[in-house]
Amino acid sequence: LVGRDAVSVAEYMQSDDCRKVFVMLGAGVSTSAGIPDFRSPGTGLYHNLAKLNLPYPEAVFEINYFRNNPLPFYTLARELYPGKFRPTPTHTFVKLLADHKLLDTCFTQNIDTLERQANVPGHRIVEAHGSFADQHCIECHRPFDGQRLRAAIEKSQVAHCDKCKGLVKPDIVFFGESLPALFHQTVPKLREADLLIVIGTSLKVNPFAALTGFVPDDCPRVLINMERAGDIGRRADDVVLLGRCDDVVRELGAALGWADELEREWAKTD
Ligand code: OAD
């Protein structure tokens, strides 16, 4: 990179050296859609779970805690259920990367499915922490009807498997569960990355956070976030663009000549 700024990143993205762009997303890309992130002081979900009487905030997403007390998760799931939120300009920016044949893979930790709703091609998305799209019994793994689970969550009623009476939950990955096979299958592709763009994540949860270390040493890494995260900034071609991600991707989009396209495509998500 010529410099450690958005214009230099855009210049590199328009060169022949940059063909495969990988993106890593976290909860920060959806906060402007009205979905809280987890760890931001004051506004993050983990700071606002007092009403659920949890022993500690992360328990709401722990499989062993859920087995004994599923109600806190069901209560939270009602607030987080997809369908009522609109993708943000940042989600649309990822779609533009695909439209411009630059996007190889978008790894996301988010379960809100806003990448799909922004029309990022499905085969380019890896939902590393699963999503609300499917649901299973946690004991016998029998699938459960989505409409029924949704109705149960709306009423804060715990759903049970028709066969073994085990607890049912959406296929979002809890602490203590494995990440989807697709995640593990896709990780090696990072060795071919020409650019990594990390947006809206505190990079505190592994194995996802460790992905930043899988790209080649000379691959530029860009962090777009409200705060510094992980070790991005340590390598020669690391770029840290601090601020609200929607503002920063608009700046980057403008440097790429995509400003109008970004607004036009985002308007379609309304
Ligand atoms: P965090 O809440 O840990 O981090 C969100 C990051 O986004 C923070 O660094 C914020 O400063 C930043 N941020 C918030 N709003 C922003 C904005 N508008 N523009 C730019 N940055 C913004 O969320 P994640 O890193 O996604 O896992 O959390 C990772 C995992 O922890 C989640 O997937 C979830 C959680 O426990 C499971 O539940 C398994």
pTM: 0.96
Q: Which atom of ligand 1 is nearest to the CA of 37?
A: 2
Looking at residue 53, its pLDDT comes to 87
Given a contact cutoff of 8 angstroms between Cβ atoms, the answer to whether 268 and 33 are in contact is no
Of 89, 115, 111, nearest to 23 by C-alpha is: 115
CATH architecture of 6-35+86-129+178-267: 3-Layer(aba) Sandwich (3.40)
Candidate list 47, 129, 141, 184, residue with the active-site label? 129
Determine the distance separating the centroid of ligand 1 and the alpha carbon of 28, expressed in angstroms: 5
Identify the pLDDT of residue 84: 83
**Residue extent(s) of CATH 3.30.1600.10 domains in the chain:** 56-83+132-172
Tell me, in angstroms, the distance from the centre of ligand 1 to residue 19's CA: 28
According to CATH, where is 3.40.50.1220 located in the chain?
6-35+86-129+178-267
* pLDDT score of 48: 84
Residue 34's CB is within 10 A of a number of other CB atoms, namely: 10
Give the domain 56-83+132-172 fold: SIR2/SIRT2 'Small Domain' (3.30.1600)
For 131-169, how does the pLDDT look when each residue is reduced to its tens digit (9 = 90+)? 988 999 999 999 999 999 999 999 989 999 999 999 999
pLDDT at 79 (0 to 100) = 83
Question: How far is ligand 1, taken at its centre, from the CA of residue 20, in Å?
Answer: 25
Give, using CA atoms, the residue closest to atom 37 of ligand 1: 174
Q: Is 131 in the pocket of ligand 1 (CB under 6 A)?
A: no
Residue among 24, 49, 171, 226 to mutate when testing ligand 1 (max atoms within 8 A of CB): 226
Please tell me if the CB atom of residue 37 comes closer than 6 angstroms to any atom of ligand 1.
Answer: yes
Our answer to whether residue 129 is catalytic in this structure is yes
Q: What stretches in the chain show pLDDT beneath 70?
A: none
Give the β-pairing of 130-137 and 168-172. antiparallel
Counting ligand 1 atoms within 8 A of each CB, the residue from 63, 172, 201 with the most, and so the one to mutate, is 201
pLDDT of residue 88: 98
